[in-house]
Structure 1
Amino acid sequence: MNLLPKSTREFGSVDYWEKFFQLRGKKAFEWYGTYLELCGVLHKYIKPREKVLVIGCGNSELSEQLYDVGYQDIVNIDISEVVIKQMKEHNASKRPRMSFLKMDMMQMEFPDASFQVVLDKGTLDAVLTDEEEKTLQQVDRMLAEVGRVLQVGGRYLCISLAQAHVLKKAVGHFSQEGWMVRVHQVSSSQEQVIEGEHRFSLPVFAFIMTKFRPVPGSALQIFELCAQEQGKPMRLESAERLAEAVLERQQYAWLCSQLRRKAGLGSVSLDLCDGDTGEPRYTLHVVDSPTVKPSRDNHFAIFIIPQGRETEWLFGMEEGRKQLAASAGFRRLVTVALHRGQQYEGMDSIQAELSARVMELAPAGMPVQQKVPFLSVGGDIGIRTVQHQACSPMSGEYVIEDVQGDDKHFFRRLIFLSNRNVVQSEARLLKDVSHRAQKKRKKDRKKRPADTPELLSAAPRQAIDKSYLCCEHHKAMIAGLALLRNSELLIESPLTLLVVGLGGGSLPLFVHDHFPKSHVDAVEIDSSMLEVATQWFGFSQSDRMQVHIADGLDYVTTLAQGGEARPHYDVIMFDVDSKDPTLGMSCPPPAFVDHAFLQKVKNILASEGVFILNLVCRDLGLKNSVLAGLKAVFPLLYVRRIEGEVNEILFCQLHPERKLATQDLLEMAQALEQTLRRPGSGWDDTYVLSEMLRTVKIV
């Protein structure tokens, strides 16, 4: 028996519904959910003694069940004479105070302000099947009638799938009338089957339109979203933003349905937001491992990433998460990153908060009562303290934060919020200072009012461990100094360096401190970064360390045009990121590897010098083009890939005859390191220069 219409337009036809209920008989048809699924929102917005009008009642049992729990002043109307007759016969003796009337909701016969609630379960969706002029005129008449029969303070409670055109029409109509508009999510998803032929998986929403008394000259419009059954409503600034928020929840429900039905959708990530503020609270990545053989206990697991470690390759990159999932041995692993700016009480509270939501992401075939394990590193959520947050006109919003590493050391990081999972600069804090800072922080928390943001004053410069390079690509760049002739004598030589890209200043500062006769010119386009480096990362200028606030392209061009007076640097380092996220190369910007510009770099590089470039490029074709362009200007080109990262460090020189075998490179690096490990130098024992060059390849 096929009850589906030939077209959606038939949903608004009297003849269609007469035939529908004749064929279906007395079996109840529950469009968009049963009473048990809807009772939470119904009881929230309807009081037992209020007079309720149900429009397009059909043969749903909803009115009957409301009546049986105390809502007895209910009037039901429908355009189908067949269904009204059925419902009268069924309820006459059981529910004598409830009435059923054959009536067109577009021309209702009730006096003005007759009801306190108009309840609509799927009727607006059935009428508003398209946006043709005739359909919209019918809907206007319907909604005008709803407004007419409602008292001031009354509510139009409409259960809907909130398709974009339906939401737009309903919200637009009532907000223009000065009503308060609230959209309340009723369920995460509703899978509906009509006689086994039609299936959808979308969340069900309730529109609660509250009638306000018109105020002449007032343009106040109120839009709210309640994303959870017991959650607080969230105020939104416009109808457009409300529509966006509803669409986000529909997309989430669709994604969950796809994940339940099949595995292997590729890389899937989503944000779970705070229900009160709408701010992202968790970022989830769903990773399937099709090679894992299924068993009773390995269907699904959740991995909580400790705060501050979401930038690590294993957690922050797709390839790393795949490796993590495979090694964990689960068919599906969901990694959960905790957002800065959010408060978390501990692992137990996070599990309790996430349990219901993450189960929506479980794979098909998982037993209903299967217990899902929550995994982590070390059993805690880590420590992250935002020390400072500001906005740079050049780089956008950024934060300075201290995080605890897996070795209990604390690290200070610079993060641009436009690229939250990339550490722009990092420095290790001295252990004793960081420990005292944590104790002071706990003491300050007890004194500080609960609503005071945690932004602490800058730590003293001596808190930074200047002997330690956190970034592997910085270590490799320093190791490139071994390519200079007589590198073992560099600490006694007047070494000149140009570093383009300051960041936190750790790279030029390391050179300055470990090569006592060096002179470093650092170029930084963003003046805010000099302030950050000085205040938060222990950086300072001196007669041997000068920072130039300028565009690196312009600075190099000016130097190259200096004729005989132009400088010739022993080392030139580029460690500058691109501000354009659409490019396949995030470091450096393409202009820095343009052929004409590379010629200018060549003109200011000493004949025996080395040009060192940090390259981050995910586009293989673009990367090969960059390498070919570099080799056209610098015939001798070494490449060092950073394990677990996209970074590649390129060492460029002018004389191909100086090409060195790997063993020679290692011996030169060892010789340089021996001179750097002089007494009192503060050399980090874990930093082995030769290891940085062991995997170097010549292009």
Structure 2
Amino acid sequence: MALDISCFQTLAPSRYVTFTIPNPCRRNSAHRLLRIAVLDSPLHRDGQPRVAAILVPENRERDWIFCTESGHLQLLLSNTPDFSRLILVGCESSDGRHGLLALHLHRSAEAQNALEEAIGPLLLALLPKICFDNGIPEVPILRYEDDLISSAMIEKCTGDYVGEMLIEDVELESEGPKSEEREFRRRLRFRRMPNLVQTQVRIVPESDVGTDIGKAMFKIDSWVLVHPYLAPMVASLNLVSTHIEDQFRVGLRLKVLCLGVGGGALVSFLKGQLGFKVVGVEIDDEVLRVARQYFGLEEDGEMISIIRGDAIEVVKKLSCQRMKGNSVASDCNDLNDLDGIETQFDVIMVDIDSGDTRNGSMAPPLEFMERSVLSALRSILCESGIVAVNVIPSNRSFYESLLCAFREVFCDLYEIDVGNKENFVLIATVTSIADCSGNYGSSLLMKLKSVISGAYIDSIKKV
């Protein structure tokens, strides 16, 4: 059926249309067709509608970010939040191959300019009619840039709860004084959140790596945190450094509950680098299989234990078990799967996101903000305990609501800005704690600054 281009003259919230056209730059490209995808924002925008276009980086056409509606939506909401319509222009992928993707992110300037000029009339034809009220408008063409050099798909699989997953090895552009050294990561991504890396760990080549990283052998380096918000979450421990050192002084290990395991990078780091006892909670068996097989997660039952279940339900069960003095009552169902699990923790770290991505990435999910959940969370923390939450606010209103919800249950709130314009770490305390700013002689602080950036520790602020 022929495409009726007049449909683009008006905005229709969440409308998503894709089509192909002959490539006007066919002479300078091996691709015969261009794929066009048009998405109207699900959010109402006041005033004159704004439209932008993004050129899909060369050889990235099969990436979930660019070839799925959910990826397109997240590009629109996270990168162009003030725009009413986002148009993606990319080459139609015809070979259907999967595996190694050699990613040349930037076309030559000449080819880039030729393509932008060639698609100008098409972009005007895809504008709402109202955009022409004051003459012929300009459509800004945005460039998607990241530090990816190459990527090799390791496995695609599907979890019962998270859906389709992708495990990939990537090479990144090196920075800093040792920029001549090649940087490699292993990443886990979920298709429902295509432009969000769920987990990444540093990987080290076991032999020389050529141009095809898909053929290289790597080992996991679990001694360093490379995922942007994990180091700030660990930095939150400085707020309870006195309590932690008191525990170690009498021969006790810190007990940490991690809600959301993913690839297990945080769990492995807390045990390996800091010597903590860690209980992880993960809802999806397939995610745990991936964490064990590809990301180096090792459970020993003593220092690392994993509970398979919904994080919120597990917290409620642990709270119920604690309130009942470890006896199973009629209103505490299905507690057998928690036999032998601690019911009181020094620290709880929360890294769970919303399964509903219609309004973009968001963490934690809305149900986590319910008073019953936060009260249960507080009840399984010791008096000197803290909870650190990875927060991806969909908007400022969501973040303010989260702060209000925590203030109703916890004592003091602190915040660390991750610095990537996406994540915050929110820290809540059970009781008021002493100022740690002068605690420079703390052995824990010295240890923390040796394994993560001290800038995150210094940036903790009360909110």
TM-score w.r.t. length of structure 1: 0.47
- Aligned partner of 2:279 in structure 1 is 521
- Aligned partner of 1:20 in structure 2 is none
Q: 1:409 to 1:483 in 2, by over 3 A?
A: same
Deviation at 1:335, TM superposition (A): 11
| Aligned pair partner of 2:225 in 456, 466, 469 | 469
For the pair 1:649 / 2:420, whether they are aligned, the reply is no
- Aligned partner of 1:382 in structure 2 is 149
Q: 1:273 to 1:625 in 2, by over 3 A?
A: closer
For the pair 1:393 / 2:177, whether they are aligned, the reply is no
Letter in 2 for 1:399: L
Aligned residues: CA RMSD:
4.8
Secondary structure, in 3 states, of the residue corresponding to 2:346? strand
Q: Distance in 2 between matches of 1:580 and 1:597?
A: 19
Unaligned runs of 5+ in 2: 10-18, 27-32, 40-47, 125-141, 175-181, 327-341
Deviation at 1:429, TM superposition (A): 0.9
- What are the superposed Cα offsets for residues 535-579 of structure 1, whole Å, 9 maximum, x if unpaired? 111111012101111011111111111122372101111111111
Q: Distance in 1 between matches of 2:400 and 2:267?
A: 29
- Aligned partner of 1:416 in structure 2 is 190
Q: Distance in 2 between matches of 1:490 and 1:500?
A: 22
Q: 1:541 to 1:621 in 2, by over 3 A?
A: same
- Aligned partner of 2:381 in structure 1 is 605
The structure in which a higher percent of residues are helix is 1
Deviation at 1:493, TM superposition (A): 3.2
Q: Distance in 2 between matches of 1:250 and 1:539?
A: 39
Deviation at 1:586, TM superposition (A): 1.0
| Aligned pair partner of 2:313 in 554, 557, 568 | 554
Are the counterparts in 2 of residues 614 and 648 from structure 1 also a CA contact under 8 Å?
yes
1:211-290 matches, within 5 Å, as 227-228=21-22, 266=50, 268-269=52-53, 283=66
| Aligned pair partner of 1:429 in 185, 203, 206 | 203
Q: 1:671 to 1:510 in 2, by over 3 A?
A: same
Deviation at 1:355, TM superposition (A): 5.8
1:444-459 matches, within 5 Å, as none
- What are the superposed Cα offsets for residues 41-62 of structure 1, whole Å, 9 maximum, x if unpaired? xxxxxxxxxxxxxxxxxxxxxx
Are the counterparts in 2 of residues 283 and 338 from structure 1 also a CA contact under 8 Å?
no
- Aligned partner of 1:402 in structure 2 is 169
Question: Which gives a bigger RCO, structure 1 or 2 (Cα 8 Å, sep 6+)?
Answer: 2
Letter in 1 for 2:227: C
Deviation at 1:251, TM superposition (A): 6.0
Are the counterparts in 2 of residues 636 and 659 from structure 1 also a CA contact under 8 Å?
no
| Aligned pair partner of 1:619 in 378, 391, 395 | 395
Letter in 1 for 2:191: L
Letter in 2 for 1:227: I
For the pair 1:692 / 2:450, whether they are aligned, the reply is no
- What are the superposed Cα offsets for residues 10-64 of structure 1, whole Å, 9 maximum, x if unpaired? xxxxxxxxxxxxxxxxxxxxxxxxxxxxxxxxxxxxxxxxxxxxxxxxxxxxxxx
Deviation at 1:614, TM superposition (A): 1.1
Deviation at 1:644, TM superposition (A): 2.2
For the pair 1:674 / 2:446, whether they are aligned, the reply is yes
Deviation at 1:523, TM superposition (A): 0.3
Q: 1:487 to 1:338 in 2, by over 3 A?
A: farther
**Number of residue equivalences:** 380
Are the counterparts in 2 of residues 466 and 506 from structure 1 also a CA contact under 8 Å?
yes
Q: 1:503 to 1:338 in 2, by over 3 A?
A: farther
- Aligned partner of 2:235 in structure 1 is 479
- Aligned partner of 1:239 in structure 2 is none
1:147-186 matches, within 5 Å, as 163=4
Secondary structure, in 3 states, of the residue corresponding to 1:635? coil
Are the counterparts in 2 of residues 413 and 427 from structure 1 also a CA contact under 8 Å?
yes
Structure showing greater Rg: 1
Unaligned runs of 5+ in 1: 1-159, 167-199, 201-224, 232-244, 253-263, 285-309, 323-333, 365-373, 445-455, 678-682
Q: 1:265 to 1:568 in 2, by over 3 A?
A: same
For the pair 1:660 / 2:418, whether they are aligned, the reply is no
Q: Percent identity?
A: 21
Q: Distance in 2 between matches of 1:249 and 1:406?
A: 29
Q: Distance in 2 between matches of 1:695 and 1:266?
A: 36
Q: Distance in 2 between matches of 1:641 and 1:550?
A: 30
Deviation at 1:672, TM superposition (A): 1.3
For the pair 1:535 / 2:293, whether they are aligned, the reply is yes
For the pair 1:639 / 2:415, whether they are aligned, the reply is yes
Are the counterparts in 2 of residues 570 and 606 from structure 1 also a CA contact under 8 Å?
yes
Q: 1:547 to 1:375 in 2, by over 3 A?
A: closer
Are the counterparts in 1 of residues 103 and 151 from structure 2 also a CA contact under 8 Å?
no
Are the counterparts in 2 of residues 642 and 648 from structure 1 also a CA contact under 8 Å?
yes
Q: Distance in 1 between matches of 2:374 and 2:151?
A: 41
- Aligned partner of 1:503 in structure 2 is 262
Letter in 2 for 1:520: V
- What are the superposed Cα offsets for residues 404-435 of structure 1, whole Å, 9 maximum, x if unpaired? 122121011111122221110010112x42x5
Q: 1:615 to 1:571 in 2, by over 3 A?
A: same
Deviation at 1:582, TM superposition (A): 2.6
Q: Distance in 2 between matches of 1:281 and 1:627?
A: 33
Letter in 2 for 1:268: A
Secondary structure, in 3 states, of the residue corresponding to 1:553? helix
Are the counterparts in 1 of residues 58 and 106 from structure 2 also a CA contact under 8 Å?
no
- Aligned partner of 1:318 in structure 2 is 79
Q: Distance in 2 between matches of 1:653 and 1:347?
A: 44
- What are the superposed Cα offsets for residues 162-182 of structure 1, whole Å, 9 maximum, x if unpaired? 53899xxxxxxxxxxxxxxxx
Q: Distance in 1 between matches of 2:91 and 2:22?
A: 22
Are the counterparts in 2 of residues 416 and 424 from structure 1 also a CA contact under 8 Å?
yes
- Aligned partner of 1:564 in structure 2 is 325
Deviation at 1:527, TM superposition (A): 0.8
Q: Distance in 2 between matches of 1:273 and 1:406?
A: 16
Are the counterparts in 1 of residues 78 and 360 from structure 2 also a CA contact under 8 Å?
no
TM-score w.r.t. length of structure 2: 0.68
